[in-house]
């Protein structure tokens, strides 16, 4: 009797082992076989989601059929703590093993990226689907009805959105503040204008509901850091007495050229002039003296402007017109970027004292007044031909 029971128990154990082996084999095959998706699916894994929540989201999206098998496979691989949050596009037919590899590699931080670009004449937005390589970005000026509709459509979706704001080189502090006050999804209106030149041009990420002042403070900290680092590495013979003087000259270089390769050369012209005690004679300082950084200048500079008549009439004194004052103006005339700051503390080695537009977006440089006058005549002929 006991022998019979033992034999029966042994048979049952064998059957159980066979079943277990079959289940393990089936589970392993299921884990590695192509998944149920017939078309790609987008799945968002929130920050802090555990393995059970992840498997549930994948199942709800139709990417896996057996959440328990997915969890067992992840634990067997020992990668449970390496699955990362983010937005993922799960390919059609992806196996559970394929999905684990995707989650280990990491996905986009958000489904949508919304970048607000502050310009001299307003704010534009660029909306990018981070998971679609084919879809063209949406957006345009904030005032456009189509832009507003696109923003509402994205915000109203269930997908996450990453917000950024871009401040280009050469904007004034007033223009940055005006732009930030128009960027949506930020809180707290800015009423004070920070010191000119104190804001770093760059792209800054922000969370919905962040305070505008906090973003402005971040820009100021970044600019102070950039200026300190550049000043520490300055050339010993540069005729600038302080970081503030470097910032002032960098703002002039920023407004004179948008070409990266020209910045050290333009900086060398002004450095050479300062060494010789020559006036800088740069038109952007005239514009700043008239507008004081507010608004845009929509006309040609006149002889009266260069003579300081306009600035004196508007503000009672000529402070910024470098055709009329010696040395540097009292403050920066814009917010310069890192490249312009580095250019003025380590300018190119040249003997240039003059430059004028060359008609191709760059400038023609000259060492002598005669060479410069020839370059000016060439530029005037070219401009006349284009206007005919």
373 occurs within a structural domain: yes
> Do both 319 and 352 map to the same domain?
yes
> Do both 330 and 201 map to the same domain?
no
CA distance linking residue 63 with residue 75, whole number of Å: 19
1 occurs within a structural domain: no
Radius of gyration from C-alpha coordinates of the chain: 32
> Do both 212 and 260 map to the same domain?
no
373 φψ region: left (φ > 0), alpha (ψ -120 to 50), beta (else):
alpha
> Do both 60 and 91 map to the same domain?
yes
Which tokens sit at 151? 């923003």
> Do both 192 and 252 map to the same domain?
no
As for how many domains the chain has, the answer is: 3
> Do both 148 and 49 map to the same domain?
no
The alpha carbon torsion through 48, 53, 54, 55 (nearest 10 deg) reads: 160
Q: Which domain holds residue 296?
A: 233-387
17 occurs within a structural domain: no
Q: Are 335 and 198 in contact (CB under 8 A)?
A: yes
* Whole-prediction pTM: 0.81
> Do both 243 and 378 map to the same domain?
yes
Q: Give backbone dihedrals phi and psi of 335, rounded to 5 degrees, phi first.
A: -95, 105
How do the pLDDT tens digits run along the chain, 388 residues long? 555 545 555 555 555 556 555 656 766 788 888 989 888 888 888 888 888 899 898 998 899 888 888 999 889 888 888 888 888 888 899 999 999 888 888 877 788 889 999 999 899 999 988 877 667 788 899 889 889 999 998 888 877 889 999 999 999 999 999 999 999 999 999 999 999 999 999 999 999 999 999 999 999 999 999 999 999 999 999 999 999 999 999 999 999 998 999 999 999 999 999 999 999 999 999 999 999 999 888 888 999 999 999 999 999 999 999 999 999 999 999 999 999 999 999 999 999 999 998 888 899 999 999 999 999 999 888 887 777 6
> Do both 349 and 287 map to the same domain?
yes
CA–CA distances in Å: residue 21 to residues 245, 266, 350: 78, 77, 80
Of the three residues 208, 225, 242, the one that is the final residue of a domain is 225
């Amino acid at each position: 009797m006991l022998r019979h029971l033992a034999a029966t128990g042994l048979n049952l154990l064998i059957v159980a082992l066979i079943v277990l082996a079959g289940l393990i084999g089936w589970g392993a095959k299921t884990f590695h076989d192509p998944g149920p998706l017939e078309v790609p699916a987008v799945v968002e894994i929130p920050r802090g989601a555990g393995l059970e929540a992840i498997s549930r989201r994948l199942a709800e999206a139709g990417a896996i059929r057996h959440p328990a098998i997915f969890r067992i496979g992840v634990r067997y691989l020992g990668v449970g703590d390496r699955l990362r949050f983010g937005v993922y596009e799960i390919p059609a037919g992806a196996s559970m093993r394929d999905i684990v590899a995707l989650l280990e590699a990491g996905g986009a931080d958000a489904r949508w990226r919304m970048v607000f670009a502050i310009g001299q004449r307003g704010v534009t937005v660029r909306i990018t689907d981070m998971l679609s390589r084919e879809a063209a970005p949406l957006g345009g000026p904030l005032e456009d009805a189509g832009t507003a509709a696109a923003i509402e459509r994205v915000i109203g979706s269930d997908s996450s959105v990453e917000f950024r704001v871009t401040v280009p080189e050469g904007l004034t502090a007033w223009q940055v503040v005006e732009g930030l006050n128009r960027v949506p999804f930020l809180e707290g209106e800015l009423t004070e204008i920070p010191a000119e030149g104190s804001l770093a041009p760059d792209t800054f990420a922000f969370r919905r509901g962040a305070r505008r002042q906090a973003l402005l403070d971040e820009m100021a900290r970044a600019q102070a850091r950039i200026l300190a680092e550049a000043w520490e590495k300055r050339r010993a013979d540069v005729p600038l007495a302080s970081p503030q003087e470097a910032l002032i000259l960098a703002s002039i270089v920023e407004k004179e050229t948008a070409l990266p390769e020209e910045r050290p050369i333009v900086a060398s012209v002004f450095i050479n002039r300062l060494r010789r005690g020559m006036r800088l004679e740069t038109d952007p300082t005239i514009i700043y003296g008239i507008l004081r950084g507010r608004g845009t200048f929509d006309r040609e500079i006149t002889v009266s402007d260069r003579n300081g008549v306009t600035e004196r009439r508007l503000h009672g004194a000529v402070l910024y017109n470098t055709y009329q004052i010696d040395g540097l103006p009292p403050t920066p005339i814009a917010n310069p970027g890192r490249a312009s700051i580095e250019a003025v503390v380590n300018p190119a080695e040249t003997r240039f004292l003059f430059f004028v537009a060359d008609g191709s977006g760059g400038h023609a440089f000259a060492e002598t007044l005669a060479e410069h006058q020839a370059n000016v005549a060439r530029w005037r002929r070219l401009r006349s031909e284009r206007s005919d």
